[in-house]
Structure 1
């Protein structure tokens, strides 16, 4: 295990760490060495540098003296503090931004040795990054991935806590990628990640915009849709080339003030890379889509995932991989093998109907999914979902209304109730579904709800288990209990066999 992989001590000159930072040394001397850089006061060690990060809930400046007591010799702050020791105090305008730049220096600027691809947008980030990884690895590149579900570095898979990790973790992952022989990194870049400077300190080779709709607006997220768009747009101040979905009505707003070269993709005739002649492909147990790539490249492709958004995701991946001179036959084959856990993930349970798991957990993504599946003319479209506790009630009303409008039958169940009562969440969903004429039943226990749709599936049905996707837990009262829908389905099938 390498030093950077273990997160171990790395003796380094403070002046070296600060070489790309605008700062004032308001106490002490920068001509010293530190062993570690740390942003969590609980993990402070001897001879470490501690970032006093101002959080949404807790301000790291409050822990300055605690950090010194544990052995921190350098503090990075953005406001005046009173400390009772001769620690070196570095004042900056923004601690989060400085942390990103200092972390890059600490790991010896690993992004400079990689071609980093950043994908931002409301929908499509996860699937697009996996498609890019599949294509480029099929072409002989070694690709690291950072995303909503996990980080993948060589043979190691690291579960994710945030779509875009803290800047220290991002830089640590980049360093591990270098040590594993990667030459490309592809990552999801969230609006919050951009707003909170988690991807500062380096330049993206490519910045990608998939689409944008109102989401992540509310307490501890974005104050408005305008702020949300502006944060997405920060990526295009930090990349060499922007690749943008020109069909999105807000594309030019997101690009406002950009400093990169720009090219476009989409269905529009104005797009540099276009999808044309789209055809739905349906066979027993199979839903897919085929189309013609035209413009900057010209070839036919078929994707083993249904719908228009699958065209967008794959076209985005093609637009990126074109710059790595990947042959069209490699692109075609790689797109067929790129499967993302919990993103329209087909699970075989019957020869008569189709069942899939999808992460759709807001009204926009659920409507996109259901309208896509409607186009395949299923006998019935059955949607099973719940909503998370401690979250906006509006999302519950909207998802209920969407499912009632587009599904032939809705099964309302529990998701992650967190600190709320599951029945109260279900009651909110029913308010939304009550605005429609959609049929529904409620089964509060999610396993029982899944058993119901399997036992009552009819020939030609398409059944969607929405909301959980890749998650393998259910959060109740602060505890995460194991719950993987794939395992639940297999358990149900085994129970039916033994009857």
Structure 2
């Protein structure tokens, strides 16, 4: 694509004239090849302008800059100066990939908590309605059975535009993205007009360091989303609802437990039967439905309401909403795994005391026969984390099964001893099974009716790191292998 076409929607000054054919857009100088445009991004610790000369030497056909350069650029390399290179990257990436957002149903979700779960719920509903959907967020870029790992909840604008292009190529009709405050602050979502923007909730987070200077900036950055959405919906029960959605181009649809909401939840209660762990609620207002959500915790009623509000702007049948919420799950986040028998098996990413406390406290509310937690701890990490995890599991679990995690360059048994130090502060029962697959097998073979078993620590990860090597290990596959082995033994 010609450089002039990439620049169609941005203001710029020409420093070195030229209109080369651009083969790709690069913002990491190590990836520059002949014919690419190098965008000089200014980050927290590095400045792309310092690598502009290296990019030219590697064959860059154009440089996009915001600061003056310290070297003489050859006349055959176009140089374009803009006010903000991050914003420019978003605009030229959209052009480079053919403005894919205009060809998809697009939904963006912002809020302190619930973005990942709400994204999964929306995708599940849309898929049940026959709308092939891709998602972008904490778990990476997911579409057509593929998973592309990302460094940030909201990736760089180039990655977002490329992902939407690739989604279209494989037949997707919709895209749901987690819009983080940092992503909005740094223009990663610029030049996209979303069909729907969703606000989940607001609380203290991401303040200080390289994130937001204060709560006012944090809130303002989240509010930016609603100035680039055709429609919007938000949690009316949250005290920051009005302030967050003040830029909305039309009056937002509302959801919550308040009778003032457009979508109202009531009669919420926990469900735990035949291996199903979730929450039930009645929906009234714009729709009247009786709903079961396949993710534990009453707080997930809010996430379900957000998902229902999001799809309300499309022609989605009620049947798809009911089925989608009943099927919805988030990989590695209180994720149910089908097992034979009348007990429940859950995979969760909880890998510190706080996340473990949240998960186990939520599951305790279901009053299981026993709550069994299998976990390890990462090597070459602070020992205090191990003590705290051991103490938390000992306090909240009926049985802790201690095993390996990413031991890295430490001995597994040394890590387990540290975990036992924390367990010793409680009267919690525990067993030690050092091999993780053997530990899962122990849990499954000794499961009783009504038990909830939590495999904690790995979640969405599909590897185990030992002495600098990452070995493939997906707990879902291990569970399937164990079920197969148990079936063969019983023949």
Q: Is the 8 A contact 2:277 2:294 kept in 1?
A: yes
| Separation in 2, partners of 1:200, 1:474 | 37
**How do residues 369-448 of structure 1 correspond to structure 2 at under 5 angstroms?**
369-388=359-378, 402-417=392-407, 438-440=428-430, 445-448=435-438
| Separation in 2, partners of 1:391, 1:228 | 30
- Structure 1 stretch displaced more, 57-66 or 228-237: 228-237
**Does 1:23 find its partner at 2:21?**
no
Aligned to 1:6: none
| Separation in 2, partners of 1:212, 1:433 | 35
Equivalent in 301, 313, 317 of residue 323 of structure 1: 313
Identify if the C-alpha distance between structure 1 residues 69 and 178 changes in structure 2 by more than 3 Å, giving closer, same or farther. Answer: same
Identify if the C-alpha distance between structure 1 residues 297 and 430 changes in structure 2 by more than 3 Å, giving closer, same or farther. Answer: farther
Identify if the C-alpha distance between structure 1 residues 488 and 267 changes in structure 2 by more than 3 Å, giving closer, same or farther. Answer: same
| Separation in 1, partners of 2:291, 2:410 | 46
**Does 1:268 find its partner at 2:258?**
yes
Aligned to 1:7: none
Equivalent in 460, 468, 472 of residue 470 of structure 1: 460
Counterpart secondary structure, 2:61:
strand
| Separation in 2, partners of 1:60, 1:425 | 41
| Separation in 2, partners of 1:363, 1:212 | 23
**How do residues 250-329 of structure 1 correspond to structure 2 at under 5 angstroms?**
251=241, 254-255=244-245, 261-329=251-319
Aligned to 2:148: 159
1:294-318: CA deviation from partner (whole Å, max 9, x where unpaired): 1222121223343313423322211
**How do residues 56-95 of structure 1 correspond to structure 2 at under 5 angstroms?**
56-86=44-74, 87-95=77-85
| Separation in 2, partners of 1:143, 1:116 | 10
**Does 1:170 find its partner at 2:172?**
no
Aligned to 1:238: 228
Aligned to 1:37: 25
Instruction: Tell me the CA shift for residue 462 of structure 1.
Output: 0.9
| Separation in 2, partners of 1:216, 1:419 | 31
Identify if the C-alpha distance between structure 1 residues 142 and 471 changes in structure 2 by more than 3 Å, giving closer, same or farther. Answer: same
Aligned to 2:136: 146
**Does 1:53 find its partner at 2:41?**
yes
Aligned to 1:202: 192
Aligned to 1:4: none
- Structure 1 stretch displaced more, 381-390 or 289-298: 381-390
1:29-79: CA deviation from partner (whole Å, max 9, x where unpaired): 154443322222222122221012233454322221111011112111232
Aligned to 2:124: 134
Counterpart secondary structure, 1:488:
helix
**Does 1:105 find its partner at 2:90?**
no
Aligned to 1:5: none
Supply the RMSD in Å over aligned alpha carbons: 3.5
Identify if the C-alpha distance between structure 1 residues 479 and 492 changes in structure 2 by more than 3 Å, giving closer, same or farther. Answer: same
Identify if the C-alpha distance between structure 1 residues 250 and 418 changes in structure 2 by more than 3 Å, giving closer, same or farther. Answer: farther
Counterpart secondary structure, 1:66:
helix
Identify if the C-alpha distance between structure 1 residues 22 and 409 changes in structure 2 by more than 3 Å, giving closer, same or farther. Answer: farther
Q: Is the 8 A contact 1:242 1:260 kept in 2?
A: yes
Identify if the C-alpha distance between structure 1 residues 439 and 190 changes in structure 2 by more than 3 Å, giving closer, same or farther. Answer: farther
| Separation in 2, partners of 1:441, 1:221 | 41
Structure 2 length-normalised TM: 0.85
Q: How many correspondences in the alignment? A: 486
Aligned to 2:178: 188
Instruction: Tell me the CA shift for residue 97 of structure 1.
Output: 1.9
Q: Is the 8 A contact 1:97 1:197 kept in 2?
A: yes
| Separation in 1, partners of 2:324, 2:419 | 39
| Separation in 2, partners of 1:398, 1:273 | 40
Instruction: Tell me the CA shift for residue 374 of structure 1.
Output: 1.9
| Separation in 2, partners of 1:212, 1:224 | 14
**How do residues 442-457 of structure 1 correspond to structure 2 at under 5 angstroms?**
445-457=435-447
- Structure 1 stretch displaced more, 54-63 or 313-322: 54-63
Identify if the C-alpha distance between structure 1 residues 143 and 462 changes in structure 2 by more than 3 Å, giving closer, same or farther. Answer: closer
1:366-416: CA deviation from partner (whole Å, max 9, x where unpaired): 444323322221122122334556778887676556544433333454444
Instruction: Tell me the CA shift for residue 200 of structure 1.
Output: 1.6
Structure 1: give runs of 5+ residues left out of the alignment.
1-10
Counterpart secondary structure, 1:324:
coil
Aligned to 1:3: none
Q: Is the 8 A contact 1:239 1:260 kept in 2?
A: no
Identify if the C-alpha distance between structure 1 residues 493 and 142 changes in structure 2 by more than 3 Å, giving closer, same or farther. Answer: closer
1:265-289: CA deviation from partner (whole Å, max 9, x where unpaired): 2223343312111233332323333
Counterpart secondary structure, 1:268:
coil
